Amino acid sequence: MRWEPPACGAAGASAGRLLKNFTIVRFHAKLYTVKVHYHSYDAVIVGAGGAGLRAAIEVAGKVRTAVITKLYPTRSHTGAAQGGMCAALANVEEDYWEWHAFDTVKGGDYLGDQPAIDIMCREAIDAVIDLEHFGMPFSRTPEGRIDQRRFGGHTRNHGEAPVRRACYAADRTGHMILQTLYQQCVAHEVNFFNEFQVFDVLFDESGGQKRAAGVVAYELATGDLHVFVSKGVLFATGGYGKIFRISSNAHTLTGDGLGVLYRRGIPMQDLEFYQFHPTGIYGFGILLSEAARGEGGILRNGLGERFMERVAPTVKDLAPRDMVSRAIHAEIREGRGAGTDKDFVYLDLTHLPPEQIDAKLPDITDFARTYLGIEPKTQPIPIQPTAHYAMGGIPTNVEGEVVLDGKGTVVPGLYAAGECACVSVHGANRLGTNSLLDIVVFGRRGGRAMADYVKSVDHPEVPRGAEAEVRDRIERFKAASGGEKVPAIRTELQQTMTENASVVRTAESLRAAHAKIDELVERYHSIAIDDKGEVFNYDLVEAVELSHLLDLAKGLVVGAEARQESRGAHWRDDFPTRDDVNWMKHSLAHRGDDGDVRLEYKPVIGGRYQPMERKY
């Protein structure tokens, strides 16, 4: 069943078509040198962060598998996660997975689908044990069990008091999970294609139904194209936090998986729900874990007041992130910020024992020293909310299958897991630690489901020259001579999103962002890149990534304009209450060929917890 490479005729045919569009003479020689390689697999996983690697462990060894990643796996942003991963192990105090599920439902402001949340919180316990067996070096209790600590929004008995539920490895839990999963992939001899970036997804519609058929990837080291024909494709490409200026996200978090599928007719769910983490290092946006507050850290405004006492009398500084970020925003807006511009507040650790800081929070205190020249043992750390996590994304069911609508119609063979996916377990606001949980639980489930599926189907049909559109696009970028530059457009996008579509939104601010994005999309058509070469052409890659950022920013803003209520991370100053009658529903954004967004909605799947007012 191996895919045969096409004869030169096929490549020549598509090249000929290109020449019609671009009659640039110096192009002739170049066109015929783009090499295309064909690969045939049962399963392809796109992305090698926590979700992709966890899926790979399930799939590799069972079916022929390729993992395609634009970075080296250990560079993935899972490694930047710090604080922990919640599971009701009850190692240090009484706890039940149902309490965890309640907190997750309430934390998500009743937009999460409760059957999926139940699965995540129940399987959390196994997921932690699995990681321990894989070699994860968790921090331990004196008895040698996995230690657990407090985290925002996680409570005992439905909101009574904070509970110690987060399993952790100092403040580098994500780093240790990423390393551990990669180590297991080395042990399982997983077949990695490192520094290959997926530019397109392929479908086979020959059987009357659309099903996944593979991806087209660009090899950074050579500029060659690779067509991976595959029965199953799982996207685990992470988030798109680079639509914002102040962001905890890596430069490479540009929503590639979402962007590629969105352009191919897959709707995006709940894009308007984007989380801002309360404690980003001032000016940089670098994450300082909620674990700092779990260990006893306190937020103070410019006057030295512990303002969270007013906002969340019971859990105080350990309220969920959306509430804390809004509280910080309010302090700054009302003139109680710190610094010359009164535009930040403090995270105060100075009252904690120095040895506790060294043992439990070594990395984040180092970040404060490195980037601000602050000694956190004696000085409070200036912080501001930072764009952190996309609750929305590629809609999936609990098996990781991509679903197209409210009826649960799936695209056979197409899967997604991790931040790029929306199951939805995080609803309108994710609780801290639940992202690391999400990637291991749904990475495993998606991988398993894909391994089962690909054993039951034939190889898909992919027409020769399936890479033609990607090749066109690359050549168009290289030939373009317009006056616009990728970095300028990206910077303006990030600026408008942080100013107008972040912690607090209004119809007016969103309209401004919408108009700006439309202008930038127009200008994007006239971009030119400097690098016309084949080898490590990041100039080209950034141009492609920018198209995803623009698409997703627009989807976010249009969804936020439509949603006339405040729920979780989506706060509208002009509609400051939650409206369960009209808005307890998920949005689905469809992208038109012209880039316009068409919204539809699907119901939230309820369960045993009825919506109630969200107080902490």
Partner 1 sequence: MTMTAQPQSQVTAHEPKVTVHLKIKRYNPEVDTRPHWEEYEVQMSPGDRVLDALHQVKWTIDGTLSFRRSCAHGVCGSDAVVINGQNMLACVHLIRNVGTHLTIEPIRGLPVIKDLVVDMEPFFAQYRSILPYLIAYDDPGYKERLQSPEDRERFDDTTKCILCACCTTSCPVYWANDSYVGPAAIVSAHRFIFDSRDQAAAERLDILNQKSGVWRCRTAFNCTEACPRGISVTKSIEEVKRAILYDRV
Q: Active-site positions?
A: 321
Tokens 């105090």 identify what position?
93
As a whole number of angstroms, the distance between CA 290 and CA 614 comes to 20
Site for partner 1 in 180-199 (CB under 8 A): 183-184, 186-187
Residues 111-130 contacting partner 1, CB under 8 A: 126, 128-129
Q: Taken in order 40, 43, 45, 50, is the CA torsion positive or negative? A: negative
Tokens of 158: 């439905």
Is residue 27 within the footprint of partner 1 (CB under 8 A)?
no
Sign of the dihedral defined by the CA atoms of residues 515, 521, 526, 527, in that order: positive
CA angle 110, 430, 587 (to 5 degrees): 55
Contact 230, 65 (CB under 8 A): no
| Contact predicate 115/605, CB 8 Å | yes
Q: For partner 1, which is the closer residue by CB, 421 or 527?
A: 527
CB of 360 to partner 1, least distance (A): 12
Which CB atom, from 172 or from 211, has the smaller least distance to partner 1?
A: 172
3-state SS of 193-211?
A: EECEEEEEEEEECCCCCCE
CB closer to partner 1 out of 214 and 297: 297
Strand bridging mode 85-86 / 148-156: unpaired
Interface of this chain with partner 1, residues 204 to 233, rule: CB under 8 A: 221
Task: Pick one of 22, 284, 601, 609: the residue that binds partner 1 (CB under 8 A).
Answer: 284
Stretch that binds partner 1, among 15-23, 172-180, 317-325, 515-523 (CB under 8 A): 172-180
3-class secondary-structure state, position 405:
coil
Half-sphere exposure of 105 (CA within 13 A, CB side): 27
> Within positions 328 to 387, which residues make up the interface with partner 1, using CB under 8 A?
339-341, 343-344, 346, 348, 350-351, 363, 367, 370-374, 378-382
* Options 11-19, 300-308, 446-454, 571-579: segment touching partner 1 (CB under 8 A): 300-308
Give 16 or 137: the residue with its C-beta nearer to partner 1. 137
Site for partner 1 in 143-162 (CB under 8 A): 143-146
Element (H, E) at 43: strand 36-46
User: Please, what is the minimum distance in Å from the beta carbon of residue 153 to partner 1?
Assistant: 24
Per-residue contact track with partner 1, 483 to 502, x per CB under 8 A? --xxx---------------
Q: Which of 281, 68, 304 is nearest to 194 (CA)?
A: 68
Q: How far apart are CA 388 and CA 558, in angstroms?
A: 20
252 binding partner 1? (CB under 8 A): yes
By C-beta, is 155 or 252 nearer to partner 1?
252
CA-wise closest residue to 611 among 567, 576, 575: 567
What does 270-305 look like in DSSP terms, one character per residue?
A: -TT-EEEEEEEETTT--B--THHHHTT-EEE-TT--
Kindly state whether residue 529 participates in binding partner 1, applying the rule CB under 8 A.
yes
- Residue 9 or 142 having the CB closest to partner 1: 142
- 3-state secondary structure string, 434-466? HHHHHHHHHHHHHHHHHHHHHHCCCCCCCCCCC
Closer residue to partner 1, CB minimum distance, 210 or 300: 300
Q: Which of 79, 107 has the CB closer to partner 1?
A: 79
C-beta separation of 261 from 394 below 8 A: yes
Shortest separation between residue 17's beta carbon and partner 1, angstroms: 26
We find the least distance from the C-beta atom of residue 594 to partner 1, in angstroms, to be: 28
Output the smallest distance, CB 591 to partner 1, in A.
27
CA-based angle 554:560:561, to the nearest 5? Answer: 90
Task: Check residue 15 and give left, alpha or beta (phi > 0: left; psi -120 to 50: alpha).
Answer: alpha
- Name which position in 11, 44, 55, 176 contacts partner 1 (CB under 8 A): 176
CB of 132 to partner 1, least distance (A): 5
| 473/585 with CB nearer partner 1 | 473
Residues numbered 457-486 forming contacts with partner 1, rule: CB under 8 A: 485-486
What are 612's two structure tokens? 């109630």
Hey, which residues between 71 and 100 contact partner 1 (CB under 8 A)? 71-72, 74-77, 79-80
Rounded to a whole number of angstroms, the minimum distance from the CB of residue 334 to partner 1 is 18
One residue of 95, 113, 467, 539 binding partner 1 per CB under 8 A: 539
Count the site residues for partner 1 by CB under 8 A: 81
Q: How far is the CB of 478 from partner 1 (least distance, A)?
A: 12
Question: With respect to partner 1, which residue has the nearer C-beta, 74 or 397?
Answer: 74
Contact predicate 248/240, CB 8 Å: no
Q: Which residue among 40, 69, 104, 139 contacts partner 1 (CB under 8 A)? A: 139
Please, which of residues 403-462 interact with partner 1 by CB under 8 A?
none
**Orientation of helix 114-134 relative to helix 97-107, angle to 10°:** 120
CB of 241 to partner 1, least distance (A): 11
Q: Of the listed pieces 209-217, 523-531, 578-586, 594-602, which binds partner 1 according to CB under 8 A? A: 523-531
Cα(312)–Cα(318) distance, rounded to whole angstroms? Answer: 8
- How many angstroms separate the CA atoms of 361 and 350, rounded? 13
- Does 279 bind partner 1 (CB under 8 A)? Our answer is no
Taking the complex as a whole, the smallest distance from the CB of residue 24 to partner 1 amounts, in Å, to 19
CB-nearer residue toward partner 1: 76 or 496: 76
Spatial distance between the Cα atoms of 146 and 155, rounded to a whole number of angstroms:
19
Judged by CB under 8 A, does residue 534 bind partner 1? yes
**3 state SS of 96:** coil
Within residues 566-605, the interface with partner 1 by CB under 8 A covers none
Q: Which amino acid type is present at position 451?
A: A
- Does residue 140 interact with partner 1 by CB under 8 A? yes
Binding flag, residue 32, partner 1 (CB under 8 A): no
Q: Is 254 in the site for partner 1 (CB under 8 A)?
A: no
Site residues for partner 1, window 305-324 (CB under 8 A)? 305-306
Q: Which stretch binds partner 1 (CB under 8 A): 170-178, 328-336, 387-395, 576-584?
A: 170-178
Residue 160: DSSP 8-state: T
Helices (H) and strands (E) in the chain, counts: 18, 20
SS (H, E, C) 172-192: CHHHHHHHHHHHHHHHCCCCE
